[in-house]
Amino acid sequence: MIFGKHINKYYLKYLWIFLIGIFALFAVDIYQLRIPEIFGSIVDSLEEKLLTREMLSEHMYNMFIILLVMFVGRFLWRITLLGNGARIEARIRDDMFKHSLILSQDYYQQNKTGALMALYTNDLQTIRMSVGFGLIMFFDALVLGSLAFYKMITLDLELALLSTIPLFFIALGGRIIGKYMAKKFEARQKAFADMSEFTLENFSGISVIKAFVKEGKELIAFSKINKNNFDKNMDMVKAGILLQAIISGLISSIMVLIIGYGGYLVFSSTPENLFTVGNLTEFMAYFSSLLWPIMAIAQLINLSAQAKASMRRISKLLDEKPTIIDEECDEVSELKGNIRIQNLYFNYPEKEDVILDNISLDIKKGESIGIIGRTGSGKSTFVDLLLRIYNVDEGMIFYDDHDIRRIPLKVLYDSIAYVPQDNFLFNDTISGNIRFGKKGEISDEEVIKAATLADLSENIDEFKDGYNTLIGERGSTISGGQKQRTSIARALIKDAPILILDDSVSAVDTDTEDKIIKNLKQTRKGKTTILIAHRISTVRKLDKILLFDDGKILGFGTHDELMNNATYAHMVQLQALEDEVMAGGIND
């Protein structure tokens, strides 16, 4: 059994179920210790030739009743105690997932997916085993061991005390090895997390691995990681085997002591100090009942060491505090779409490089804004700050004259539709992915309208299952352009006051791009749209263009106004030249 603030509440919640199981466990332990008494009585009756058919029938009837009680009791304690282990595992998993959803994005940038998955699998399984089997082992060892030892004392005090001497060495060895196993278990969990992360990354990028013919390289790398995982598991197994070997050796020594000294007591027995063969048989049976508690202690030491390590890892996740939280909020129910940036400065936590430096601009409600600049100029970071993925100082970003840090997170996120750069799609239907963008009941007409605005409907009609087409993990069964347009449709169905698209039309051809931009201009009148792009053609027809370079604003205005900017004009010339070269190559 393990304890901690994240698990204690469930012991209380399911206390009545625990009590039923423990009561059933006690009943089984008490009744099963009557069996050695019956065996001892039968042996003595046989030795004295006093056993009759009626006596034997009565003994058999009593044993049948005992076995029936044990059957019902074992079923009851298993379904309650083991069931509680599964219940608490499920509840903690719910707590973990709920807490994971409220953690800020920077947490996931610092922690690998494989390590998090290890918490949800191996660590939680260890918790379940500790709560279920661990509780059983603890109470069973306590009750059965105490009762069996008491019965042994009633038969012969000296023999009982003699048989307990090796138990001291079991406890000492278990404590030492238990601490060692706790360290080995944490090392094993880390190795498993590394292997999970490597496997997940390779399966996600399998197309890249095959395209560059790197199967052999990845196989060698996986073999090393798998070998490390195997070695860490073997360290755990070796420690467990050592503990079991110590206990088995000590148990064997106790058996030798009991048989040797017990035989001596039988041969030297007198009427005043009677110790019969039946008594020795009964004593051996009690000691056999004591073997399970002894073995349970060994397993409990092993399991407790693992469970404590797992609980520490899980508690570390559950104790993690989100960095993005509601603070002193203004009374705001919705945002209209006015955005004001004032002396915005930003660098990532624990890094000195300045990403955005002294950014100031105003975006009016209903404007369509294009953001363009070289790779690494700060465009995506700027959008991340508008989404409050990272915190900035007060007085830097305002929506409708409300500081972003004083806007309730729910209001902020409900007011913004976002299409991320990676166009993440779920392993669901096209319709399911589009519907994900809006809360509540969504009609088929709304889904079709959003797909049409994203210029996706014609492609969907060509699929055999139409909008019910399963697109596979991360949209693996559709093209890159279809992924982008599905992500755009998912954002458009939300119909939010503010729409942000982060390089979301880079995988479509220019004709499709023109249709999407035209649809956005027509359907989002009076609503703010911000679009990051690499191509001038993507943003030139928008209301204003924001030119980024090295974290600074080099220009902000219409396409014609920015043509007076040397950097922008040079970009236009370069992209026009690229288009001519590509057109010439196609004509050739």
Query: Domain spanning 332-415+500-588: which superfamily?
Result: P-loop containing nucleotide triphosphate hydrolases (3.40.50.300)
Listed in order, strand segments (DSSP E) in 55-133 are none
Report the C-alpha gap between 317 and 424 in whole angstroms: 25
SS3 (DSSP) at 417: strand
Which top CATH class is 422-495? alpha beta
Q: List beta partners, residue 398.
A: 340, 403
Domain(s) of CATH 3.40.50.300: residues in the chain: 332-415+500-588, 422-495
Rounded to 5 degrees, φ, ψ at 58 are -65, -40
Report the C-alpha gap between 135 and 7 in whole angstroms: 14
SS3 (DSSP) at 205: coil
Helix (H) or strand (E) holding 133: none
pLDDT per position in the chain (588 positions), as tens?
A: 677 788 888 888 888 988 898 888 888 877 877 777 777 677 767 766 777 777 778 878 888 888 888 888 888 888 888 888 889 989 999 999 999 888 888 788 778 777 788 888 888 888 888 888 788 778 877 777 777 778 778 777 777 777 777 666 766 666 677 677 777 777 887 888 788 888 877 776 776 676 667 778 888 888 888 888 888 888 878 877 777 777 777 777 777 777 787 777 777 776 666 677 777 777 777 777 677 676 677 677 777 777 888 888 899 999 999 888 888 888 888 899 999 999 999 888 777 778 888 899 999 999 999 999 888 888 888 998 999 988 888 999 999 989 999 999 999 999 999 988 877 888 888 899 899 888 888 888 999 999 898 888 888 888 888 889 888 777 777 888 888 888 999 999 998 999 999 888 777 778 888 888 888 888 888 899 999 988 888 888 889 999 988 888 888 999 888 888 888 888 888 877 876 666 565 444
Length of the chain, please?
Answer: 588
DSSP assignment of 151-183, as one string?
HHHHH-HHHHHHHHHHHHHHHHHHHHHHHHHHH
Token couple for 507: 């995988």
Report the C-alpha gap between 226 and 7 in whole angstroms: 32
**Amino acid of residue 202:** N
Tell me the CA end-to-end span of the chain in Å, nearest whole number: 76
Q: List beta partners, residue 555.
A: 547
Domain(s) of CATH 1.20.1560.10: residues in the chain: 8-318
DSSP assignment of 244-286, as one string?
HHHHHHHHHHHHHHHHHHHHHHHHT--STT---HHHHHHHHHH
Predicted structure pTM score: 0.73
| C-alpha Rg value of the chain to the nearest Å | 36
Token couple for 468: 């019910």
Cβ atoms 499, 528 nearer than 8 A: yes
Cβ atoms 488, 516 nearer than 8 A: yes
Q: List beta partners, residue 416.
A: 498
Residues 6+ apart with CB under 8 A from 555: 545, 546, 547, 561, 562, 565, 567, 568
* 57: exposed, middle or buried (Cβ count in 10 Å: 0-12, 13-18, 19+): exposed
Which CATH number does the domain 8-318 belong to among 1.20.1560.10, 1.20.1730.10, 3.40.47.10, 3.20.20.140?
1.20.1560.10
Rounded to 5 degrees, φ, ψ at 279 are -65, -40
Reference 189, options 125, 285, 264; nearest CA is 125
